[in-house]
Amino acid sequence: ETGVTQTPRHLVMGMTNKKSLKCEQHLGHNAMYWYKQSAKKPLELMFVYSLEERVENNSVPSRFSPECPNSSHLFLHLHTLQPEDSALYLCASSQDFRGNTIYFGEGSWLTVV
């Protein structure tokens, strides 16, 4: 139990589908993150939300759309993805967006077919 819960754990979607990944943190943190983990690549930071405002968006294609309705929940909406988007998507949280320890969820394995 990490305090950061992600659903679904596994998702297979077609390139024309629309789906969403959900993340919930039970740690009382103010910052939440989406990372992408692909084989043989560093963990890529996608988005950062601090106090429900997006503070970082690392040139992520618009087919990925984050949403942070409150400080405990974070979504990643997926639309018209490509096979190269298949990866492990990790949600994380930290006390605040200031170089603190980040706590990760178990990830959502996404396969785009």
Partner 1 sequence: AQSVSQHNHHVILSEAASLELGCNYSYGGTVNLFWYVQYPGQHLQLLLKYFSGDPLVKGIKGFEAEFIKSKFSFNLRKPSVQWSDTAEYFCAVSGTGNTPLVFGKGTRLSVIA
The footprint of partner 1 (CB under 8 A) covers 2, 33, 35, 40-43, 45, 48, 50, 55-56, 90, 97-107
Q: Which is nearer to partner 1, 50 or 112 (CB)?
A: 50
In this structure, the number of other CB atoms found within 10 A of the CB of residue 64 comes to 19
Q: Report helix, strand and coil shares of the chain as percent, to nearest 5.
A: 5, 55, 40
Indicate left, alpha or beta for 63 from its phi (over 0: left) and psi (-120 to 50: alpha).
alpha
Report in angstroms how near the CB of residue 100 gets to partner 1 at its nearest.
8
Report in angstroms how near the CB of residue 44 gets to partner 1 at its nearest.
8
List of residues 6+ apart from 62 with CB closer than 8 A: none
Report in angstroms how near the CB of residue 97 gets to partner 1 at its nearest.
6
Q: Which is nearer to partner 1, 33 or 64 (CB)?
A: 33
